[in-house]
Structure 1
């Protein structure tokens, strides 16, 4: 069950990123447009989970959070280019910053909360 929650948090992070980005460019109205923007990054999240074996240590900011973050951005950008959506340098920077903050950040907060409660880090 905790894997589902961790995966859902990662997906929510990507969806928030897409939602903020689309609304800041006055593109918020289309569901198909939203999904078209989101799918490359969602594939990146899945790839990040697979590459970092996130289901084993889902709340570790390093290496899992960093792996999921970098995979999300790199795979997402590559798929955007391949699918004809294109990228801009500033978009890559914003994606790196925002997704790094949220995908690594929630794991850091979770780990800090565990430490404050005196819980041992979870290993599966």
Structure 2
């Protein structure tokens, strides 16, 4: 039986954890770089809109079926994370300056798509 190279071994929750970790690292680095508190409550206060966006992206793309696929999973999860995260920040009257949107989009794209590229390479190499 051959495996789909875009379906890596391991339970989907482990892959969801990688996306959550990307958001938490992003929030932590951002808070530290702006000399703001980086305790768990502080980081979650910054990360929650993006975590909601990530959850919506996972649900809409049914990411648990092929969590390592760039398309149709990785790109929609990444874009939902950024778009919904920014919309929730705007509703909460938090910062959504253009520079923040650009940095958020690039950082989360690098990390959320990056681990999928690595996982996809490993899956193809294992075949």
TM-score (norm 2): 0.88
- Give unpaired runs (5+ residues) of structure 2: 1-9
Partners of 1:45 and 1:73 lie apart in 2 by 8
Partners of 1:29 and 1:108 lie apart in 2 by 29
Partners of 2:80 and 2:63 lie apart in 1 by 12
**1:7-26, aligned counterparts within 5 Å?**
7-26=16-35
**1:31-110, aligned counterparts within 5 Å?**
31-110=40-119
Structure 2 counterpart of 1:121: none
Query: Which 4+ runs in 1 deviate beyond 6 A?
Result: none
Higher relative contact order (CA 8 A, sep 6+): 2
TM-score (norm 1): 0.90
- Give unpaired runs (5+ residues) of structure 1: 119-124
Matched, 1:6 2:15: yes
Structure 2 contact 24–44 (Cα < 8 Å) conserved? no
The alignment covers a number of residue pairs equal to 118
Aligned-residue CA RMSD (Å):
1.2
